[in-house]
Structure 1
Amino acid sequence: MIVWINGAFSAGKTSAAGELVDLIPNSTLYDPEVTGAALRTLLPQKRLAEVTDFQDLPIWRRLVVDTAAALLAEMPGVLVVPMTLLRQEYRDEIFGGLASRRIPVRHVALSPEETILRGRIAGREEFPGDAEQSERVRRWAYEHIGAYRDALGWIAQDAYVVDNGPLTPRATAERIADAVRTGSAMPCPIVQS
Protein backbone atom coordinates (compact mmCIF):
# COMPACT_ATOMS: atom_id res chain seq x y z
CA MET A 1 0.00 0.00 0.00
CA ILE A 2 1.03 3.58 -0.66
CA VAL A 3 0.08 6.60 1.42
CA TRP A 4 0.46 9.48 -1.03
CA ILE A 5 0.64 12.85 0.73
CA ASN A 6 -0.39 15.61 -1.66
CA GLY A 7 -0.63 19.32 -0.97
CA ALA A 8 0.69 22.70 -1.93
CA PHE A 9 4.39 23.39 -1.83
CA SER A 10 5.31 24.13 1.82
CA ALA A 11 2.12 22.50 3.14
CA GLY A 12 4.25 20.21 5.31
CA LYS A 13 4.20 16.99 3.27
CA THR A 14 7.81 15.96 3.84
CA SER A 15 7.77 16.77 7.55
CA ALA A 16 4.53 14.84 8.07
CA ALA A 17 5.84 11.93 5.96
CA GLY A 18 8.97 11.68 8.11
CA GLU A 19 6.80 11.45 11.22
CA LEU A 20 4.35 9.05 9.55
CA VAL A 21 7.11 6.52 8.87
CA ASP A 22 7.64 6.35 12.64
CA LEU A 23 3.91 5.74 13.25
CA ILE A 24 3.13 3.09 10.63
CA PRO A 25 4.92 -0.23 11.17
CA ASN A 26 6.91 -1.56 8.19
CA SER A 27 6.79 1.72 6.32
CA THR A 28 9.39 3.27 4.04
CA LEU A 29 9.74 6.85 2.79
CA TYR A 30 10.02 7.46 -0.96
CA ASP A 31 10.36 11.05 -2.17
CA PRO A 32 9.86 11.30 -5.96
CA GLU A 33 11.88 14.53 -5.85
CA VAL A 34 14.91 12.23 -5.79
CA THR A 35 13.80 10.75 -9.10
CA GLY A 36 13.37 14.23 -10.54
CA ALA A 37 16.84 15.22 -9.36
CA ALA A 38 18.31 12.12 -10.99
CA LEU A 39 16.68 13.02 -14.29
CA ARG A 40 18.35 16.42 -14.16
CA THR A 41 21.69 14.62 -14.37
CA LEU A 42 20.60 11.82 -16.72
CA LEU A 43 18.78 13.73 -19.45
CA PRO A 44 20.40 16.15 -21.89
CA GLN A 45 19.95 19.85 -21.14
CA LYS A 46 18.11 20.27 -24.43
CA ARG A 47 15.36 17.90 -23.26
CA LEU A 48 15.20 19.47 -19.80
CA ALA A 49 14.84 22.93 -21.36
CA GLU A 50 11.63 21.76 -23.06
CA VAL A 51 9.75 21.54 -19.72
CA THR A 52 9.30 23.83 -16.73
CA ASP A 53 8.73 21.01 -14.23
CA PHE A 54 10.19 17.50 -14.19
CA GLN A 55 6.65 16.18 -13.64
CA ASP A 56 6.00 17.17 -17.27
CA LEU A 57 8.48 14.52 -18.36
CA PRO A 58 6.69 11.22 -19.15
CA ILE A 59 9.82 9.36 -18.00
CA TRP A 60 9.45 10.87 -14.50
CA ARG A 61 5.89 9.60 -14.16
CA ARG A 62 6.89 6.11 -15.38
CA LEU A 63 9.89 6.01 -13.06
CA VAL A 64 7.78 7.04 -10.06
CA VAL A 65 5.51 4.04 -10.67
CA ASP A 66 8.44 1.69 -11.33
CA THR A 67 10.42 2.91 -8.33
CA ALA A 68 7.44 2.68 -5.97
CA ALA A 69 6.69 -0.86 -7.13
CA ALA A 70 10.35 -1.86 -6.81
CA LEU A 71 10.61 -0.39 -3.32
CA LEU A 72 7.50 -2.26 -2.21
CA ALA A 73 8.91 -5.50 -3.67
CA GLU A 74 12.16 -4.93 -1.77
CA MET A 75 10.60 -3.58 1.43
CA PRO A 76 7.06 -4.96 1.78
CA GLY A 77 4.73 -2.86 3.88
CA VAL A 78 3.63 0.72 3.41
CA LEU A 79 5.33 3.24 1.17
CA VAL A 80 4.90 6.87 2.29
CA VAL A 81 5.17 9.28 -0.65
CA PRO A 82 5.18 13.06 -0.10
CA MET A 83 4.64 14.64 -3.51
CA THR A 84 2.55 17.46 -4.88
CA LEU A 85 0.44 16.48 -7.89
CA LEU A 86 -1.46 19.44 -9.33
CA ARG A 87 -2.41 17.95 -12.69
CA GLN A 88 -5.22 15.44 -12.56
CA GLU A 89 -3.99 13.61 -15.65
CA TYR A 90 -0.61 13.05 -13.96
CA ARG A 91 -2.32 11.76 -10.83
CA ASP A 92 -4.43 9.46 -12.99
CA GLU A 93 -1.38 8.20 -14.87
CA ILE A 94 0.66 7.50 -11.74
CA PHE A 95 -2.15 6.09 -9.61
CA GLY A 96 -3.43 4.12 -12.61
CA GLY A 97 0.02 2.62 -13.13
CA LEU A 98 0.12 1.62 -9.49
CA ALA A 99 -3.43 0.21 -9.67
CA SER A 100 -2.44 -1.89 -12.68
CA ARG A 101 0.22 -3.45 -10.42
CA ARG A 102 -2.40 -4.02 -7.72
CA ILE A 103 -0.85 -1.44 -5.42
CA PRO A 104 -3.57 0.45 -3.52
CA VAL A 105 -3.03 4.17 -2.93
CA ARG A 106 -4.44 6.09 0.02
CA HIS A 107 -4.49 9.67 -1.22
CA VAL A 108 -4.13 12.30 1.51
CA ALA A 109 -4.07 16.07 0.93
CA LEU A 110 -2.66 18.59 3.37
CA SER A 111 -4.57 21.83 3.09
CA PRO A 112 -3.57 24.61 5.49
CA GLU A 113 -5.17 28.02 5.12
CA GLU A 114 -3.45 30.21 2.52
CA THR A 115 -2.14 32.71 5.10
CA ILE A 116 -0.45 29.87 6.99
CA LEU A 117 0.91 28.46 3.74
CA ARG A 118 2.34 31.84 2.74
CA GLY A 119 3.97 32.16 6.17
CA ARG A 120 5.59 28.74 5.79
CA ILE A 121 6.89 29.64 2.36
CA ALA A 122 8.34 32.90 3.69
CA GLY A 123 10.18 30.98 6.40
CA ARG A 124 11.74 28.41 4.06
CA GLU A 125 15.48 28.31 3.54
CA GLU A 126 15.99 25.50 1.05
CA PHE A 127 19.63 26.35 0.49
CA PRO A 128 21.27 27.56 3.72
CA GLY A 129 23.91 30.13 2.89
CA ASP A 130 22.53 30.69 -0.62
CA ALA A 131 19.92 33.42 -0.21
CA GLU A 132 19.42 33.84 -3.96
CA GLN A 133 18.65 30.15 -4.57
CA SER A 134 16.37 30.00 -1.52
CA GLU A 135 14.48 33.06 -2.75
CA ARG A 136 14.05 31.44 -6.17
CA VAL A 137 12.45 28.39 -4.49
CA ARG A 138 10.17 30.63 -2.41
CA ARG A 139 9.06 32.56 -5.51
CA TRP A 140 8.34 29.28 -7.29
CA ALA A 141 6.24 28.07 -4.34
CA TYR A 142 4.29 31.36 -4.20
CA GLU A 143 3.62 31.13 -7.94
CA HIS A 144 2.04 27.68 -7.49
CA ILE A 145 -0.44 28.57 -4.75
CA GLY A 146 -3.10 29.44 -7.34
CA ALA A 147 -2.55 26.19 -9.22
CA TYR A 148 -2.97 24.24 -5.99
CA ARG A 149 -6.12 26.18 -5.10
CA ASP A 150 -7.49 25.37 -8.58
CA ALA A 151 -6.57 21.67 -8.24
CA LEU A 152 -8.06 21.30 -4.76
CA GLY A 153 -11.52 20.63 -6.24
CA TRP A 154 -10.51 17.38 -7.95
CA ILE A 155 -7.97 16.49 -5.26
CA ALA A 156 -10.63 16.65 -2.53
CA GLN A 157 -12.89 14.28 -4.49
CA ASP A 158 -10.72 11.24 -3.75
CA ALA A 159 -8.25 12.41 -1.10
CA TYR A 160 -8.61 12.47 2.65
CA VAL A 161 -8.11 16.19 3.32
CA VAL A 162 -6.33 17.34 6.48
CA ASP A 163 -6.28 21.00 7.52
CA ASN A 164 -2.84 20.85 9.06
CA GLY A 165 -2.50 24.60 9.55
CA PRO A 166 -2.76 24.45 13.35
CA LEU A 167 -1.07 21.04 13.61
CA THR A 168 2.54 20.09 14.20
CA PRO A 169 4.09 17.63 11.74
CA ARG A 170 3.69 14.90 14.38
CA ALA A 171 0.00 15.70 14.96
CA THR A 172 -0.54 15.77 11.19
CA ALA A 173 1.10 12.36 10.87
CA GLU A 174 -1.01 11.00 13.73
CA ARG A 175 -4.17 12.18 11.98
CA ILE A 176 -3.06 10.52 8.73
CA ALA A 177 -2.09 7.29 10.49
CA ASP A 178 -5.46 7.19 12.22
CA ALA A 179 -7.29 7.79 8.92
CA VAL A 180 -5.35 4.96 7.27
CA ARG A 181 -5.92 2.61 10.21
CA THR A 182 -9.67 3.33 10.49
CA GLY A 183 -10.33 3.37 6.76
CA SER A 184 -11.24 7.08 6.61
CA ALA A 185 -8.49 7.40 3.99
CA MET A 186 -9.92 4.94 1.50
CA PRO A 187 -7.97 3.51 -1.44
CA CYS A 188 -8.15 5.84 -4.43
CA PRO A 189 -10.62 4.25 -6.89
CA ILE A 190 -8.54 4.84 -10.04
CA VAL A 191 -7.95 1.81 -12.23
CA GLN A 192 -5.94 1.37 -15.37
CA SER A 193 -8.14 0.45 -18.31
Structure 2
Amino acid sequence: MIVWLNGPFGGGKTTTAAELDALLPEAVVFDPEHMGLPLVPTLSGIEPVSDFQDWRPWRELVVAALTSLDRYTGRTIVAPQTVVVEQYWDEITSGLAAAGVTLRTFTLDCTPDEHERRIAGDTVTNSTIAEIKIDDDGVGWRRHRAADYRAALPWLTARTEVIDTTSLQPAEVAKEVAARAGLTA
Protein backbone atom coordinates (compact mmCIF):
# COMPACT_ATOMS: atom_id res chain seq x y z
CA MET A 1 0.00 0.00 0.00
CA ILE A 2 1.10 3.52 -0.81
CA VAL A 3 0.14 6.21 1.71
CA TRP A 4 0.47 9.50 -0.15
CA LEU A 5 0.74 12.64 1.97
CA ASN A 6 -0.25 15.75 0.05
CA GLY A 7 -0.57 19.23 1.50
CA PRO A 8 0.97 22.68 1.33
CA PHE A 9 4.65 23.03 0.54
CA GLY A 10 6.36 23.23 3.93
CA GLY A 11 3.20 22.16 5.77
CA GLY A 12 4.57 19.11 7.56
CA LYS A 13 4.39 16.17 5.15
CA THR A 14 8.02 15.12 5.53
CA THR A 15 7.84 15.45 9.31
CA THR A 16 4.66 13.37 9.38
CA ALA A 17 6.27 10.77 7.11
CA ALA A 18 9.16 10.44 9.57
CA GLU A 19 6.65 10.02 12.41
CA LEU A 20 4.82 7.33 10.44
CA ASP A 21 8.12 5.59 9.78
CA ALA A 22 8.79 5.51 13.53
CA LEU A 23 5.21 4.51 14.37
CA LEU A 24 4.89 1.70 11.84
CA PRO A 25 7.90 -0.66 11.80
CA GLU A 26 6.77 -2.21 8.49
CA ALA A 27 6.55 1.16 6.74
CA VAL A 28 9.23 2.77 4.59
CA VAL A 29 9.39 6.35 3.37
CA PHE A 30 9.99 7.18 -0.26
CA ASP A 31 10.06 10.86 -1.17
CA PRO A 32 8.92 11.23 -4.81
CA GLU A 33 10.64 14.59 -4.91
CA HIS A 34 13.99 12.85 -5.14
CA MET A 35 12.99 11.52 -8.55
CA GLY A 36 13.26 15.12 -9.78
CA LEU A 37 16.90 15.76 -8.94
CA PRO A 38 18.44 13.35 -11.49
CA LEU A 39 16.27 14.85 -14.22
CA VAL A 40 17.57 18.39 -13.74
CA PRO A 41 20.88 18.04 -15.64
CA THR A 42 19.23 16.07 -18.43
CA LEU A 43 16.01 17.98 -19.02
CA SER A 44 16.64 21.55 -17.87
CA GLY A 45 18.46 22.35 -21.11
CA ILE A 46 15.77 20.70 -23.22
CA GLU A 47 12.66 21.99 -21.50
CA PRO A 48 13.22 24.63 -18.81
CA VAL A 49 10.52 24.45 -16.12
CA SER A 50 9.97 26.12 -12.78
CA ASP A 51 8.92 22.84 -11.17
CA PHE A 52 10.25 19.38 -12.06
CA GLN A 53 6.67 18.04 -11.75
CA ASP A 54 6.05 19.76 -15.08
CA TRP A 55 8.28 17.14 -16.71
CA ARG A 56 6.18 14.13 -17.72
CA PRO A 57 9.16 11.81 -17.07
CA TRP A 58 9.06 12.80 -13.38
CA ARG A 59 5.45 11.68 -13.07
CA GLU A 60 6.16 8.46 -14.97
CA LEU A 61 9.22 7.72 -12.85
CA VAL A 62 7.25 8.27 -9.65
CA VAL A 63 4.64 5.74 -10.76
CA ALA A 64 7.31 3.25 -11.83
CA ALA A 65 9.33 3.66 -8.63
CA LEU A 66 6.36 3.37 -6.30
CA THR A 67 5.01 0.36 -8.19
CA SER A 68 8.39 -1.35 -8.07
CA LEU A 69 8.91 -0.55 -4.39
CA ASP A 70 5.42 -1.78 -3.54
CA ARG A 71 6.08 -5.11 -5.26
CA TYR A 72 9.64 -5.47 -4.03
CA THR A 73 9.16 -4.58 -0.36
CA GLY A 74 5.59 -5.69 0.26
CA ARG A 75 5.52 -2.92 2.86
CA THR A 76 3.53 0.22 3.40
CA ILE A 77 5.28 3.01 1.52
CA VAL A 78 4.78 6.55 2.76
CA ALA A 79 5.15 9.13 -0.02
CA PRO A 80 5.22 12.77 1.13
CA GLN A 81 4.78 15.02 -1.89
CA THR A 82 2.70 18.05 -2.73
CA VAL A 83 0.91 17.79 -6.07
CA VAL A 84 -1.31 20.74 -6.91
CA VAL A 85 -1.87 20.22 -10.63
CA GLU A 86 -4.92 18.02 -11.01
CA GLN A 87 -3.75 16.56 -14.33
CA TYR A 88 -0.49 15.46 -12.71
CA TRP A 89 -2.40 13.94 -9.79
CA ASP A 90 -4.60 12.07 -12.26
CA GLU A 91 -1.56 10.72 -14.14
CA ILE A 92 0.09 9.49 -10.94
CA THR A 93 -2.99 8.01 -9.28
CA SER A 94 -4.31 6.39 -12.45
CA GLY A 95 -0.86 4.96 -13.18
CA LEU A 96 -0.69 3.41 -9.73
CA ALA A 97 -4.25 2.08 -10.05
CA ALA A 98 -3.45 0.55 -13.45
CA ALA A 99 -0.48 -1.21 -11.84
CA GLY A 100 -2.78 -2.63 -9.17
CA VAL A 101 -1.19 -0.67 -6.33
CA THR A 102 -3.38 0.12 -3.33
CA LEU A 103 -3.26 3.86 -2.73
CA ARG A 104 -4.51 5.83 0.26
CA THR A 105 -4.28 9.58 -0.19
CA PHE A 106 -4.33 12.22 2.51
CA THR A 107 -4.10 15.99 2.38
CA LEU A 108 -2.51 17.42 5.50
CA ASP A 109 -4.10 20.85 5.63
CA CYS A 110 -3.55 23.75 8.01
CA THR A 111 -4.62 27.37 8.18
CA PRO A 112 -2.61 29.88 6.14
CA ASP A 113 -1.29 31.46 9.36
CA GLU A 114 -0.12 28.09 10.67
CA HIS A 115 1.41 27.29 7.29
CA GLU A 116 3.42 30.51 7.42
CA ARG A 117 4.54 29.72 10.98
CA ARG A 118 5.74 26.29 9.85
CA ILE A 119 7.59 27.70 6.86
CA ALA A 120 9.32 30.29 9.02
CA GLY A 121 10.39 27.67 11.56
CA ASP A 122 11.27 24.87 9.16
CA THR A 123 14.65 23.27 9.65
CA VAL A 124 14.26 20.67 6.88
CA THR A 125 16.29 21.57 3.82
CA ASN A 126 15.02 20.34 0.51
CA SER A 127 17.88 19.61 -1.87
CA THR A 128 15.70 19.21 -4.95
CA ILE A 129 14.05 22.58 -4.44
CA ALA A 130 17.45 24.12 -3.81
CA GLU A 131 18.71 22.67 -7.09
CA ILE A 132 15.87 24.09 -9.16
CA LYS A 133 15.12 27.26 -7.26
CA ILE A 134 18.28 28.84 -5.94
CA ASP A 135 16.80 30.80 -3.10
CA ASP A 136 16.62 30.49 0.66
CA ASP A 137 16.47 26.68 1.04
CA GLY A 138 12.96 26.64 -0.35
CA VAL A 139 11.40 29.21 2.01
CA GLY A 140 10.53 31.57 -0.85
CA TRP A 141 9.40 28.64 -3.00
CA ARG A 142 7.06 27.43 -0.26
CA ARG A 143 5.56 30.88 0.23
CA HIS A 144 5.23 31.39 -3.51
CA ARG A 145 3.44 28.05 -3.96
CA ALA A 146 0.98 28.56 -1.07
CA ALA A 147 -1.56 30.14 -3.43
CA ASP A 148 -1.27 27.16 -5.80
CA TYR A 149 -2.03 24.81 -2.92
CA ARG A 150 -5.03 26.87 -1.78
CA ALA A 151 -6.36 26.90 -5.37
CA ALA A 152 -6.02 23.09 -5.55
CA LEU A 153 -7.67 22.47 -2.18
CA PRO A 154 -11.23 22.09 -3.60
CA TRP A 155 -10.29 19.18 -5.86
CA LEU A 156 -7.92 17.74 -3.26
CA THR A 157 -10.78 17.81 -0.74
CA ALA A 158 -12.97 15.88 -3.18
CA ARG A 159 -10.30 13.28 -4.00
CA THR A 160 -8.26 12.78 -0.83
CA GLU A 161 -8.95 12.48 2.88
CA VAL A 162 -8.24 15.87 4.42
CA ILE A 163 -6.81 16.07 7.90
CA ASP A 164 -6.73 19.48 9.56
CA THR A 165 -3.29 19.54 11.16
CA THR A 166 -3.45 23.13 12.39
CA SER A 167 -3.62 22.20 16.07
CA LEU A 168 -1.99 18.78 15.92
CA GLN A 169 1.57 17.73 16.68
CA PRO A 170 3.30 15.62 14.00
CA ALA A 171 2.98 12.42 16.07
CA GLU A 172 -0.77 13.05 16.37
CA VAL A 173 -1.06 13.56 12.62
CA ALA A 174 0.83 10.31 12.00
CA LYS A 175 -1.51 8.42 14.35
CA GLU A 176 -4.52 9.88 12.56
CA VAL A 177 -3.17 8.91 9.13
CA ALA A 178 -2.35 5.40 10.37
CA ALA A 179 -5.82 4.97 11.87
CA ARG A 180 -7.59 6.20 8.74
CA ALA A 181 -5.45 3.98 6.53
CA GLY A 182 -6.19 0.96 8.73
CA LEU A 183 -2.57 0.55 9.78
CA THR A 184 -1.63 -0.41 13.30
CA ALA A 185 1.57 0.07 15.23
Verify same fold: TM over 0.5: yes
How many angstroms apart in 2 are the aligned matches of 1:85 and 1:106? 15
Shift of 1:40: 1.8
Return the index of the structure with the highest Cα Rg: 1
The answer as to whether partners of 1:107 and 1:160 remain within 8 angstroms in 2 is: yes
Secondary structure of 2:105's match? Answer: strand
The alignment's TM-score, normalised by the length of structure 1, stands at 0.85
Q: What are the Cα deviations for residues 121-168 of structure 1, in whole angstroms up to 9, with x where unaligned?
A: 1223438xx9xx562621111111111111000000121111111111
Structure 1, unpaired ranges of 5+ = 183-193
Moved over 4 A (4+): none
Per the alignment, residue 169 of structure 1 pairs with 170
TM-score after normalising by structure 2: 0.89
1:54-133 equivalences under 5 Å are 54-125=52-123, 126=125
1:153 aligns with 2:154: yes
Identify unmatched segments of 5+ residues in structure 2.
none
Aligned to 2:31: 31
Aligned residue for 2:20, secondary structure, equals helix
Aligned pair 1:47/2:42, yes or no?
no
Which letter does structure 2 place at the counterpart of 1:85? V
How many residue pairs end up in the alignment? 177
Q: Distance in 1 between matches of 2:107 and 2:90?
A: 15
Counterparts of 2:167 and 2:159, CA distance in 1: 23
Shift of 1:5: 0.2
Are the structure 2 counterparts of residues 136 and 173 from structure 1 closer, same or farther at C-alpha, using a change threshold of 3 Å? closer
Verify the 8 A CA contact 1:4 1:83 in the aligned structure 2.
Answer: yes
Kindly state the Cα deviation for residue 39 of structure 1 after the two structures are TM-superposed.
1.3
Aligned to 1:189: none
Q: CA deviation at 1:21?
A: 1.9
In 1, distance between residues paired with 2:158 and 2:53?
Answer: 22
After superposition, give the CA deviation of every residue in 1:154-191 in whole Å (9 maximum; x if it has no partner): 00012111111111111110010011118xxxxxxxxx
Partner of 1:13: 13
Report the CA distance between 1:23 and its aligned residue: 2.4
Cα distance in 2 for residues equivalent to 1:99 and 1:45:
30
Please give the per-residue CA displacement for 1:41-75, whole angstroms capped at 9, x wherever unaligned: 4x1441252x1100000000000000001111221
* Structure 1 residue matching 2:45: 3-state secondary structure: helix
